[in-house]
């Protein structure tokens, strides 16, 4: 009995145990990464809790400086909205803006209009390029920050000369105003800048870094002296901590999409992850090319393969498919013997006349044998297989 020279294919679905065995390593690695991320986030959250908050006794809080100011009769009030900050401006008030870059452009303009001509002092802590141009016109923030934290005064401002060296290193500024006091320079650019208010008796002080206000750094260098002089020149201190939830002074132009709120570093990191994933997929993807024979782990005799395939056909009651396989394989082997291309082996108009000429017959039995209807039962199938074998032997006979 002849059949197609193909191996039977089987499909075995993996069990739940096998799936767990394969994926437990990846699951464990993901769990460790998640635990590490949660731990780092918790530690960093605890470390930054209350940063520049005058109520916080944490190392990065500012409760110590407000306590010293209170001993000198200066009252401190914490505000978190722009409306409260604007209402508190006045000649007897120092307004400290802790994180100016959190303010939107419209909030910056409103705050600047409220402080201009008020007669009070405005202290901007670590104002970057986003806010310094609006809150302090004529001043720009240098992209490169100071390399050193502790710097010498290098100016004639009385508060700086009395304080001496202090930890003002951070953002460096450039001013076009000739009346500005430029102090604590780093590479010839000041990290503390005082701008007199031309519309009143007040002024604006830009502080490049927050170190002199932090609890952990207040007792170092001349930090305490400089902080008390900058914040204690008026009897009242209003400590403004801008909040991202403050929408009382926002307009349509301040509305931002989700991607505007995501830091640029996260966007670039996500892009790099996508590129890495694409490269990994390209590296691990299946290469397209010619088939490569693979050595089977167990040698299977051809007779066993034919027997097994025949049993499958019989079990499925697929006599028509078995007959089609027998006829197709026979036609494929006979075509080259009678001078017909293999591509035309399954075309009756090409194969039957060539066989008839080779066997000197009329062709009608050949057409019925090679392209006829399927057998009705197993006996007819066996008879068909015998007749096909006899035909092939006759064609091969010299």
Would you call 79 helix, strand, or coil by DSSP? strand
Q: Give the residue ranges of DSSP H helices in 48-120.
A: 63-71, 82-88, 105-115
Would you call 111 helix, strand, or coil by DSSP? helix
The label of the residue with tokens 């701008």 reads: 195
* Mean per-residue pLDDT of the chain: 85
- Distance, in Å, from the CA atom of 391 to the CA atom of 2, rounded to the nearest integer, reads 13
* pLDDT surpasses 90 at 378: no
Segment 167-208, tens digit of pLDDT: 998 999 999 999 999 999 998 999 999 999 887 789 999 999
The label of the residue with tokens 């108009």 reads: 349
pLDDT at 363: 61
Contacts of 300 (CB under 8 A, 6+ apart): none
- Distance, in Å, from the CA atom of 77 to the CA atom of 90, rounded to the nearest integer, reads 14
**Would you place residue 149 in the very low, low, confident or very high pLDDT band (cuts 50, 70, 90)?**
confident
The label of the residue with tokens 């931002």 reads: 256
Q: Give the residue ranges of DSSP H helices in the chain.
A: 16-47, 63-71, 82-88, 105-115, 132-135, 158-163, 223-231, 258-261, 264-284, 302-315, 319-337, 348-359, 364-371, 378-396
**Cα end-to-end distance, the chain, whole Å:** 23
pLDDT at 268: 81
pLDDT at 2: 42
Residue 353 CB burial class (10 angstroms; 0-12, 13-18, ≥19): middle
User: Which CATH class, in words, describes the domain spanning 63-240?
Assistant: alpha beta
133 versus 256: the higher-pLDDT residue is 133
- Bridge partners of 195, per DSSP, are 204
Q: Which pairing describes strands 189-196 and 121-125: parallel, antiparallel, or unpaired? A: unpaired
**Would you place residue 4 in the very low, low, confident or very high pLDDT band (cuts 50, 70, 90)?**
very low
pLDDT at 45: 54
- Distance, in Å, from the CA atom of 255 to the CA atom of 111, rounded to the nearest integer, reads 18
pLDDT at 310: 82
Which has the closest alpha carbon to 360: 321, 310, 397, 323? 397
Contact 103, 81 (CB under 8 A): no
Segment 199-242, tens digit of pLDDT: 778 999 999 999 999 999 999 999 999 999 999 999 999 999 99
> What average pLDDT does this structure show over 123-144?
92
| DSSP per residue, 152-193 | ---S--HHHHHH-SEE--S--EEE--TT-EEEEEETTEEEEE
Segment 19-78, tens digit of pLDDT: 777 777 788 888 888 888 777 766 665 545 578 999 999 999 999 999 999 999 999 999
- Phi, psi (deg, nearest 5) at residue 218: -65, -30
> What average pLDDT does this structure show over 309-328?
87
Residue 381 CB burial class (10 angstroms; 0-12, 13-18, ≥19): buried
pLDDT at 6: 42
pLDDT at 11: 44
**Would you place residue 8 in the very low, low, confident or very high pLDDT band (cuts 50, 70, 90)?**
very low
| CATH 3.40.50 residue window(s) in the chain | 63-240
- Phi, psi (deg, nearest 5) at residue 340: -110, 135
291 versus 134: the higher-pLDDT residue is 134
> What average pLDDT does this structure show over 231-257?
78
Burial pattern 306-330, b for ≥16 Cβ within 10 A else e, equals eeebbeebeeeeebeebbebbbebb
* pLDDT surpasses 80 at 386: yes
> What average pLDDT does this structure show over 86-113?
93
pLDDT at 28: 84
pLDDT at 9: 44
Segment 343-367, tens digit of pLDDT: 888 988 988 888 888 887 666 688 8
Which has the closest alpha carbon to 213: 132, 126, 130, 108? 126
DSSP state of 19: H
**Would you place residue 14 in the very low, low, confident or very high pLDDT band (cuts 50, 70, 90)?**
low
Q: What is the 3-state secondary structure (H, E, C) of 266-310?
A: HHHHHHHHHHHHHHHHHHHCCCCCCCCCCCCCCCCCHHHHHHHHH
Structural tokens at position 167: 């930890």
- Distance, in Å, from the CA atom of 66 to the CA atom of 68, rounded to the nearest integer, reads 5
19 versus 157: the higher-pLDDT residue is 157
Q: Of 4-18, 35-49, 93-107, 238-252, where does mean pLDDT reach its minimum?
A: 4-18
């Amino acid at each position: 009995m002849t059949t197609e020279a193909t191996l039977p294919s089987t499909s075995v679905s993996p069990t739940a145990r096998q799936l767990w065995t394969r994926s437990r390593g990846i699951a464990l690695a993901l769990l460790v990464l998640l635990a590490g991320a949660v731990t780092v986030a918790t530690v960093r959250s605890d470390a930054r809790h209350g940063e520049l908050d005058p109520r916080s006794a944490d190392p990065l809080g500012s409760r110590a400086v407000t306590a010293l100011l209170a001993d000198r009769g200066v009252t401190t009030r914490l505000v978190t909205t722009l409306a409260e900050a604007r209402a508190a401006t006045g000649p007897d008030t120092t307004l400290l803006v802790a994180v100016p870059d959190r303010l939107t452009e419209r909030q910056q303009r409103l705050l600047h209009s409220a402080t201009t001509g008020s007669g009070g002092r405005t202290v901007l802590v670590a104002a970057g390029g986003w806010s310094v141009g609006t809150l302090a016109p004529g001043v720009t923030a240098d992209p490169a920050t100071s390399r050193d934290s502790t710097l010498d005064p290098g100016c004639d401002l009385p508060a700086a000369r009395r304080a001496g060296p202090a930890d003002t290193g951070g953002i460096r500024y450039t001013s076009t105003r000739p009346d500005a006091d430029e102090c604590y320079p780093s590479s010839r650019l000041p990290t503390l800048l005082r701008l007199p208010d031309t519309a009143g008796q007040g002024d604006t002080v830009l502080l490049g870094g927050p170190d002199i206000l932090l609890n952990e750094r207040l007792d170092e260098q001349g930090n305490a002296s400089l902080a008390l002089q900058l914040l204690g020149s008026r009897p009242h201190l209003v400590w403004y901590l801008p909040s991202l939830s403050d929408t009382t002074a926002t307009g349509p132009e301040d509305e931002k999409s989700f991607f505007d709120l995501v830091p640029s570093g996260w966007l670039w990191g996500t892009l790099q992850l996508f590129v890495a994933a694409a490269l990994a997929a390209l590296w691990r993807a299946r290469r397209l090319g010619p088939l490569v024979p693979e050595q089977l782990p167990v040698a299977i005799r051809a007779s066993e393969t034919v027997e097994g395939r025949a049993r499958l056909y019989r079990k499925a009651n697929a006599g028509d498919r078995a007959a089609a396989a027998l006829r197709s394989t026979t036609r494929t082997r006979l075509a080259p013997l009678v001078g017909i291309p293999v591509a035309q082996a399954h075309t009756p108009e090409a194969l039957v006349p060539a066989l008839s000429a080779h066997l000197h017959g009329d062709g009608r039995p050949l057409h019925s044998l090679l392209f006829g209807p399927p057998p009705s039962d197993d006996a007819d199938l066996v008879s068909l297989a015998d007749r096909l074998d006899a035909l092939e032997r006759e064609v091969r006979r010299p």
